[in-house]
Structure 1
Amino acid sequence: MVEGLKGIDWYLLRSHNGYADDLPRLLKQARTSVEPHQELVGHLCGNEFDVSEATAAAWPFLLDLVAHDNTPGREWLLDEVCGSIAAAGGSRSDGVHPSWPPAWEAAKPALLALLDHGSATVRRGALFVLGQGRGDSAPVLPVLTRRWELETDPATRLCLVLVATEFAGRGDEAAVSWLRELEVPDHEPQAQLLVSAATSPDAGVILRGLTGDLGLFLATGSFEMGYDEVLEHVLWLVRPKDFEGMDLVLALVDVLPWRTEALDYLRRLFERDTTDVGLVVPFVPVWATDPDVRLRAFAVWLVGVARAREYRDLVAEAVYDHAVTSLGQRVSTLATSVLLELG
C-alpha cells in the first residue's frame, strides 16, 4: 500500500473536503487504528450520488484495507464506507467523476476475492458492495455461480441472488439469464421469490416467499432489508406497470401482513401515473364496504384519483364514516374532499 500511495499526486486531486493531500496519511493510519475513519468518510463519501476523483484514486487502497483481517473496524469500512461509495458510483449521476467507472472495474477482482473469505459477514459485505456498484456483470456472474455451489450460509446465499437481481433489475440480460438457469431448492423460498420476480413473475411463488419467514432477509445485514425494503425490491423487479405485476400487488392487498405496504405502493404508483388506475377501480365497491378502514379509505381516495364519478354515491356514504386510519386520516374528511373534487 505505502509504495502505491506514493505514486499518486494526491495534492492535485479534489476530495469531498477539498484537496486530497491528507488521504495517504489517513489510509496508512487506518491499517492500525479506527481514529481516521471519520476523516476518511469526510474525504471519500459525498452525498448519495457523488464520487470524487480522490475517492476513485483511493478505492483500491480501501479494498486493500478491508482485505486484511487485522484492519481495525474492517467490517465498518466495508459496509459503511465502501458500500456508500459503491452506491453513489452505481447511480451513474453527473456527480460521479469520470475516473470512477474504470477504477471500479479495475478493482473488481480484489472485491470478488473477498467472496472466498472465511467470514460470512465479510462475504455478505462484499456482495453488498458489488450489488450497489454493478457495472459490468461479466466478471461477477461466474464467481456468483461458483459461490452458489460452495456457499452454505443461508443469508449469504440469499445475498448472491440479491446481487444478480440488482444487475437484472437494470436490464442486464446476462444476469436475467443467470437467474433463469439458477437451480434454487424448494427450502429456499425467499431466493425463489427473487428469481421469479426478476425473470417471470409468478404470484404464487412470490407470495409464498413473502408470507414465509422473512428473517433471512433481515439477516443479510448490509442490504438493510427490512420488511418494507423487501417488498419495494420485489415490486421494483416485477415492475407493476404490467398485468402480472398489478395482479401481484392486488394479491398482496388480500394478505393482511402486507396490506398497508401494498396500498401505499399503489398510492405512490397512481400519484405518479394514473395510466393503469382503471385496473384497480373495479375493486372500489368491494373495498368501500370492507371492515378494514385501510381499504375503505383507499377506495375513497382511488375514486378521486381516477375521477370515477360512477362511484360518487359510495363516496357520499363515506362522508358518515368517522373511522380513522393508522396515519390519522379520517375517512369522512377524505370523502368530503373527494366529493368537492368530483363536483
Structure 2
Amino acid sequence: MFAGIEEVDWASMKHAYGPADDVPALLRGLASADPAERERALDGMYGAVHHQGDVYPCTLACIPFLFELVADPWVPDRGDIVELLTSIGGIDLGSDDEDEIDEDEAEGAANYAMAAAAVSAGAGVFFGLLADEDPGVRLSAPLALAALHDDPARVLALLRARLAAERDEEVRLALVEAAGRLALRHRPLAGPVADWFARLVGDPGPPGLRLAALAQLARCAPHALPGDVVPVVTGLLGQLRTSAAGPGSTRARPVEPPGQGAEAAPLTLRGQLRALSAEETAGRAAPWTADLLRTLHAGLDDRVAERVALLADQLRSPDPWQRVDAVRMSDRLIGGRRGSYAELVRLVGEQLAAPEPRLAESAAQLLAGLSGLAAPAADALAERVAADPADWVRTWPDGRTRLGSAATALARLGDPRVLPALTAALGHPLVPSELGPGVARLGEAALPLAGALRQRLSEAVLDERAYDRVGPVLVALAALRAGAAAPEVLRVLRGAPDAGGERLRTAALRALAAFGPAAGCAVPELRALVRRTGTVEAAEAAGALWAV
C-alpha cells in the first residue's frame, strides 16, 4: 500500500493551510489501527486537503491512494473514506457560468473537473462494496455509485438487487436514497425509479423502507405521489412508533471511534460534530425519520394544506421526538410559504408544557420568531412565562443577557402578561436588548415600568459598557414617550464617555426627540451639540431640538 507516495512532490503543492508535505502522514493515518489517529487524519483531510469542499492539486494527488485504502478490507472505517472520495469527485459544476469566472475560479473549476473524472474512472470499485461485511461501507457505497459512476442503468439494477438481500435497515434506506439521486441526475431513469418506489410504498414491507420510498418519490417524481399521501404517511409514522423491531441506532457504525471513551476521543471538528449528532439522536427509536420527512416536505413544496396536516399529526404524536422534528419543520414551512397556520401554531404552543426541554425550547424559539403570527399560542406562552421565572432572562458567560424565548414571543405579541419578565430584566447588570422592542409592542400597557426605567438610568455607571447597561432602557423610554424621564436621559447624554459613547449619545438624543416639548430642559445641551457640525450627533441633536 502507498507505493510511490514518496515520489510525489508534496512539498511543491499547497492545501488550505500551507505546504502539503504533511499529506502522506494524513493518508497513512487513515489506515492506522489507532482510532484516535484515524479520526485526526480524517479531520485533517477535510480541514486542509479538502477544505470546505475545495480541490487542490494535492487533493488530486491523494485520489489513487484513497482508492487503495477503500479496496483493502483490512483498513478500518473505510466507509468514511468512501464518503471522502464521494465528496471530492461529486462537485457539480453544471450551474457555473464559464463567462463570469475569473482566473482563480477557472483553475478551481479545472481541479473539480479533474477530480470528478479521476474518481469516476475508479468508481467501479464501489460495486464490490455493496455487499461488504462492514455495514458502514455498505452505507456509504450506494450514494458513491449514484453520484459518480457513469453507467446509471447498471447502478440502478444493482441497487434494486442489493435491496432484496440487504438486512440492515439504514443501509436499505441508503439504497433507496441513492436510487432517488440517480433519478435526479439522469432524468430518463426517473420513470422506472418512480414506478419502483410506488411499488415499494404499496408493498406490505417495513414502514421505514416504505416511508423512505415515499420521500424519494416526492423528491424525484412528486406528480406520482398517491392522492392519499397524508393518511399514508401518518399511518407509517404510527407503525414506526409502535414497532418493537424499530432500529435503535443512529448510524450503522459507531459515533465514537471504536474502543475510545468520550474522554479519550481526539478533539477534532468531526469528532465534535459526531458528539452533537449523538446527543441529538440519543433515545430516538428511528432518528432517520426526521431526514425522510424533511425530504418529503421538500417534495411536497407548495402543497401547504397537506404539509400542515402532516405536521399537525406529528405534533399530536405521543413520541416527543416526532414533535421536536415537527416544530422545526413548521418553522421552515411558515417562514417559506403563505398559508393558514392558526391551528399549527396552537399545536406548537401546546409543546411549551412538554417535559422534554428541547421540545419546549424549540417551540418557544419558533413562536418568538413568528411575532404576530404567534397569537393563537398567546395563552400557552403566558402560562409558560408565569410558570418558569428562571427562564425570563438568560445570561451569557460574558454577562450579556437576553430574554427567554417564551418571554420574547409574548412581548412581541404586545401581551401585558410579560411585564413581570421585563421587570426582572431591569434587575440585571446588563439589560437584554429585547427590552426596548418589547416595551414598544406593549405601548401604554408598559407604563407601569416607567418608574423602574427612570431609576435604572439615574443609577447607571456611565463608562465604556454603559450602552449595554442602559441602551435598551433608553429605547424603552422613547417608545413610552415618557417625558418625565428627560432629566435622567439628559444625565446620560452629558455623562457619556468620549471614547465609545457615540451609540449611547445617539440613543439618548432619540429618546429626547420622542419626548418632544416635555424635554425642554435639554434645549441648551441640544443647541451646543448642533454646533458640532459635520457629526452624526449634530444631525441627531438638530432633529431632537426641532421635536422639543
Whether TM-score is above 0.5 comes out as yes
| 3-state SS of 2:72 partner | coil
- The 8 Å contact of residues 139 and 171 in structure 2, kept in 1 or not, is answered as yes
Equivalent of residue 328 in structure 2, options 239, 248, 264 = 264
1:160 aligned to 2:161?
Answer: no
In the alignment, residue 327 of structure 2 is paired with which amino acid? Answer: L
Displacement of 1:256: 3.2
Aligned to 1:83: 83
Residues 263/43 of structure 1: CA separation in 2 closer, same or farther (3 Å cut): closer
In the alignment, residue 60 of structure 1 is paired with which amino acid? Answer: P
Aligned to 2:353: 293
| 3-state SS of 2:413 partner | helix
- Once residues 25 and 291 of structure 1 are traced to their aligned partners in structure 2, the CA distance between those partners, rounded to angstroms, is 50
Deviations 1:235-272 (A, max 9, x none): 1343153223343223222223212221122124434x
Residues 7/233 of structure 1: CA separation in 2 closer, same or farther (3 Å cut): farther
- Once residues 85 and 181 of structure 2 are traced to their aligned partners in structure 1, the CA distance between those partners, rounded to angstroms, is 16
- Once residues 19 and 81 of structure 1 are traced to their aligned partners in structure 2, the CA distance between those partners, rounded to angstroms, is 22
Aligned to 2:213: 195
- Once residues 342 and 92 of structure 1 are traced to their aligned partners in structure 2, the CA distance between those partners, rounded to angstroms, is 51
Aligned to 1:44: 45
| 3-state SS of 1:123 partner | helix
- The 8 Å contact of residues 364 and 409 in structure 2, kept in 1 or not, is answered as no
- Once residues 325 and 67 of structure 1 are traced to their aligned partners in structure 2, the CA distance between those partners, rounded to angstroms, is 59
- Once residues 112 and 230 of structure 1 are traced to their aligned partners in structure 2, the CA distance between those partners, rounded to angstroms, is 27
Aligned to 2:137: 122
Equivalent of residue 62 in structure 1, options 66, 69, 83 = 66
In the alignment, residue 187 of structure 1 is paired with which amino acid? Answer: G
Residues 327/147 of structure 1: CA separation in 2 closer, same or farther (3 Å cut): farther
Residues 149/220 of structure 1: CA separation in 2 closer, same or farther (3 Å cut): same
- The unaligned stretches of length 5 or more in structure 1 are none
- The 8 Å contact of residues 300 and 315 in structure 1, kept in 2 or not, is answered as no
Residues 267/342 of structure 1: CA separation in 2 closer, same or farther (3 Å cut): farther
- The 8 Å contact of residues 14 and 53 in structure 1, kept in 2 or not, is answered as yes
Displacement of 1:194: 1.0
- Choose between structure 1 and 2: higher helix proportion: 2
In the alignment, residue 66 of structure 1 is paired with which amino acid? Answer: V
Within-5 A mapping of 1:1-343 = 5=5, 10-21=10-21, 23=23, 27=27, 37=38, 40-41=41-42, 44-46=45-47, 47-71=51-75, 74-75=76-77, 78-84=78-84, 86-87=86-87, 90=90, 92=92, 97-98=111-112, 99-127=114-142, 129-130=144-145, 138=152, 140-166=155-181, 173=187, 174=189, 177-182=192-197, 183-184=199-200, 185-199=203-217, 200=225, 202-211=229-238, 212=240, 213=243, 214-215=246-247, 218-221=250-253, 226=281, 227=284, 230-239=289-298, 241-243=301-303, 244-257=306-319, 258-271=322-335, 273=336, 275-276=337-338, 278-283=339-344, 287=347, 293=353, 305=370, 307-308=372-373, 315=378, 319=382, 322-324=386-388, 329=404, 331=406, 334-339=409-414, 341=441
Displacement of 1:193: 0.2
Displacement of 1:190: 0.5
Q: Computing the radius of gyration over CA atoms, which structure comes out larger, 1 or 2? A: 2
Sequence identity percentage = 21
Moved more, 110-119 or 315-324: 315-324
Displacement of 1:178: 1.8
Residues 290/16 of structure 1: CA separation in 2 closer, same or farther (3 Å cut): closer
- Once residues 134 and 92 of structure 1 are traced to their aligned partners in structure 2, the CA distance between those partners, rounded to angstroms, is 11
| 3-state SS of 2:54 partner | coil
TM-score, normalised relative to structure 2: 0.49
- Once residues 53 and 20 of structure 1 are traced to their aligned partners in structure 2, the CA distance between those partners, rounded to angstroms, is 9
TM-score, normalised relative to structure 1: 0.72
- Once residues 18 and 326 of structure 1 are traced to their aligned partners in structure 2, the CA distance between those partners, rounded to angstroms, is 49
- Once residues 148 and 340 of structure 2 are traced to their aligned partners in structure 1, the CA distance between those partners, rounded to angstroms, is 34
Moved more, 221-230 or 253-262: 221-230
- Once residues 327 and 84 of structure 1 are traced to their aligned partners in structure 2, the CA distance between those partners, rounded to angstroms, is 43
Residues 4/317 of structure 1: CA separation in 2 closer, same or farther (3 Å cut): closer
The CA RMSD measured in Å over matched residues stands at: 4.5
In the alignment, residue 68 of structure 1 is paired with which amino acid? Answer: D
- Once residues 108 and 80 of structure 1 are traced to their aligned partners in structure 2, the CA distance between those partners, rounded to angstroms, is 15
- Once residues 156 and 189 of structure 1 are traced to their aligned partners in structure 2, the CA distance between those partners, rounded to angstroms, is 15
- The 8 Å contact of residues 48 and 84 in structure 1, kept in 2 or not, is answered as no
| 3-state SS of 1:65 partner | helix
- The 8 Å contact of residues 134 and 166 in structure 1, kept in 2 or not, is answered as no
Deviations 1:70-129 (A, max 9, x none): 33xx22xx2334424534654659778423222232221112221133444432243465
Deviations 1:22-71 (A, max 9, x none): 54576468667659746743653234433433223322321221222233
Residues 209/113 of structure 1: CA separation in 2 closer, same or farther (3 Å cut): same
- Once residues 39 and 319 of structure 1 are traced to their aligned partners in structure 2, the CA distance between those partners, rounded to angstroms, is 48
| 3-state SS of 2:67 partner | helix
In the alignment, residue 83 of structure 2 is paired with which amino acid? Answer: G
Residues 307/111 of structure 1: CA separation in 2 closer, same or farther (3 Å cut): same
- Once residues 10 and 175 of structure 1 are traced to their aligned partners in structure 2, the CA distance between those partners, rounded to angstroms, is 43
With CA pairs under 8 Å and 6+ residues apart, which has the higher RCO, 1 or 2? 1
- The 8 Å contact of residues 11 and 21 in structure 1, kept in 2 or not, is answered as yes
